[in-house]
Chains A and B, each alone.
Chain A
Amino acid sequence: MVCFHGDEGALMIKEKGKFKRATSSIGSIANLLNRESVFKIMLVTPMQLLLSFLLVPPFAIVIYLALVNWQPIFGSWTEAPFVGVSNFVRLFSDRQFFWALARTVVIVAISVSFQFILGMALALLFNREFHGKKVCVSVILYPMMLPWVVVGFIFYLLFLDHGPVNYVISSVFGPGATVSWFSSSVTALVAIILADIWQWTPFMFLMSYSALGAVPKELREAAMTLGANLWQIFRYVTFPTIKPVVLIALIIRALECFKIFDLIFIMTRGGPGVSTESMSLYIYRMGFRYGQLSFAAAVAIVVLVAISLVARIGVRPLLKEEL
């Protein structure tokens, strides 16, 4: 008997009749439900329904808004004049947009890298039993469980010029070493990135940890008896097994981090000036504060297309067939 992947990618047994025979004895409705084609459709239908219901009409409105010139103070949205791609043209000559984009990319790159390394390292550290492990895991997971607003203002208060962080720094290194964290773009971003790392490393930890729990112990033990050291075990046994989960976690976290908003809003409001504005904050300022909803829609579409292209590359290994 040979197993292979058929046209629909389903598991097929060469003697096709065998499959059918297994289910022919059950009732006809059950028969229908158990047919692979019906089964597959039923699996994805709830999701498709939900997404179509929720997303399709509003997204159509988004595209409409991007092609007209509308602000609420101009009047009704249905009577807005058509302007074609002029919103997009305006976008590409807006320096603040490109700065926000670049800044966001930098934030994501640094923050997610740290989170990944730290989360993975922690998961490896915790991958055995010891006293008080459950409590330690709860402490590590805690930051993720707080509302964004709370994380934001906690770090805001911590990094204020006269806050605890500067207090500790001045106690250890002397008063001259204190940093006015929110007075310049770079130091403010450091504080923001630290807040993001604090809040979301638990996620990478959680994903790595649960993925590690699925690594077969026997493989590791077999490798150890063969004389492999810790690094080799990690590289050749552990990592390939956890790769799908960790990679997905990384991609998801990067996507989320790209939309970083609440933390920056609470901590600096994008200031000083607009030097800590992220992409989401820029869109919020344009769309909500200034009411330029058409322009904001155009920006969002451009961002969506840009991220999709980048993500496509990153996601490709995950969509390849599993060997």
Chain B
Amino acid sequence: MKMLGSRRVGASQVVRPKSTIFWILRWAAILATLAFFSFPTVWLLSISFKPPIEWMAFPPTLVPRNPTFDNYVVLFRPELPKGTAGAMLRVTEPVTKSFVNSFIIVPVATFISVVCGFLAAYAVTRFRVGGAFMPFFVLTTRMFPPAAFAVPLLLYYRWLRLIDTPIGLIVIYAGFTLAFSLWMTKGFIEGVPRHVEEAAILDGASPWRVLFTITLPLVKGGLAATTLFVFILNWTEFLYALIFTSTRSITVPVQLSHYVGAVGRFYGPQAALGVVASIPVVALGYMIQKYLVTGFSFGLLKR
């Protein structure tokens, strides 16, 4: 293996002039991409440090003229920012409750969704359970416009007494992301060669052991990506969170919508909360990166 690798390096060294151009082009492309992706983020950060008078000011300035921490402070201690602007910003409770709710609801719902989806994906891929219809039917749950489903679901939830409860939202989030979990892990499971599993079966392993000790490690990357994506979907979901909560179970996106007042939308605190709310997701994304490079090299060739 190593010899193969060094031969590769040797080959590229022979073709040096061409690879330098590629190298430059590649880095230019990476930098251009980074610029495109980071500019709005930088603008977001910029607004989160600006006082109200600068949010829509022109000519726009990247660095705030009078930077302030008030937008962040008002999230956690609304009573602290002083002055007229401070009084105007003081429109809702501290964000702690919404974070606690989100931290309970979202991970639980994500876990349920990914587990159920993964298991079902395995059944669909390996055993064709439900044939061609069932997985497609699951996918149709994502085709229905949420606004039209809200009131019927609301009626149902009223009957179940699940409105404004964490369980209620967990069930909704888990149920509506199942389609993702199933279809995304399905793709990754299909990338695992069957004969690896077959070999284990022939060795006498039960189906469960095959699933958890053979297949699962090989789709770690896919599971990590799926988990991250489902987590993000649930963490940032707004419409159903708004409709199905009133005071007890509000989540972070609903809290974000509260920063509106007599003079319009309060972009500063909304930006600040957007930044703060993204931190847990960024942390999760950073952690799963190591699972994404599985580099499947068993020395077995795919048929």
Contacts and interface: CB of A to CB of B under 8 A. Distances in A.
Interface in B204-259: 204, 206-208, 221-222, 224-225, 228-229, 232, 235-236, 238-239, 252-253, 256-257
A322 B123 CA distance: 14
B197 A11 contact: yes
B25 to A, nearest CB: 10
Contacts of B225: 206-207, 210
A211 B293 contact: no
A141 B285 contact: yes
B17 interface: no
Contact of B188 (A214, A221, A308): A214
Contact of B238 (A55, A147, A206, A311): A147
Nearest to B294: A213
Interface in A185-213: 198, 201-203, 206-207, 209-211, 213
Interface in B173-200: 174-176, 178-180, 182-184, 186-188, 190-191, 194-195, 197-198
B40 A158 contact: yes
A181 interface: no
Contact of A147 (B115, B176, B277, B296): B277
A301 B238 CA distance: 22
Interface stretch (B66-74, B76-84, B86-94, B149-157): B149-157
Given A44-B119, A44-B130, A213-B221, A252 B180 contact: yes
A206 B112 CA distance: 22
Interface stretch (A88-96, A105-113, A269-277, A278-286): A278-286
B56 A157 contact: yes
Among A118, A142, A163, chain B packs the most CB atoms within 10 A around the CB of A142
A305 to B, nearest CB: 9
Interface in A244-301: 244-245, 247-249, 251-252, 255-256, 258-259, 261-262, 279-280, 283-284, 287-288, 293, 296-297, 299-300
Please classify the interface of chain A as helix (H, G, I), strand (E, B), loop, or mixed, using the class held by over half of its residues: helix
Interface string B290-303: 00111111010110
Interface in B37-84: 37-38, 40-41, 43-44, 47, 55-56, 58-60, 62
B281 to A, nearest CB: 4
B190 A322 contact: yes
A149 B139 contact: no
Contact of B256 (A54, A144, A150): A150
Among B30, B149, B187, B286, chain A packs the most CB atoms within 10 A around the CB of B187
A293 B221 contact: no
B37 A167 contact: no
B191 A244 contact: yes
Contacts of A84: none
Interface string A47-88: 100110111011101100100000000000100000000000
A274 to B, nearest CB: 16
A145 B278 contact: yes
Among A13, A39, A293, chain B packs the most CB atoms within 10 A around the CB of A39
A242 B206 CA distance: 29
6 contacts: A46-B120, A47-B116, A216-B296, A218-B299, A283-B148, A287-B148
What are the 8 closest A-B residue pairs judged by CB atoms, nearest first? Answer: A9-B128, A300-B148, A150-B274, A61-B152, A162-B58, A43-B123, A245-B187, A54-B175
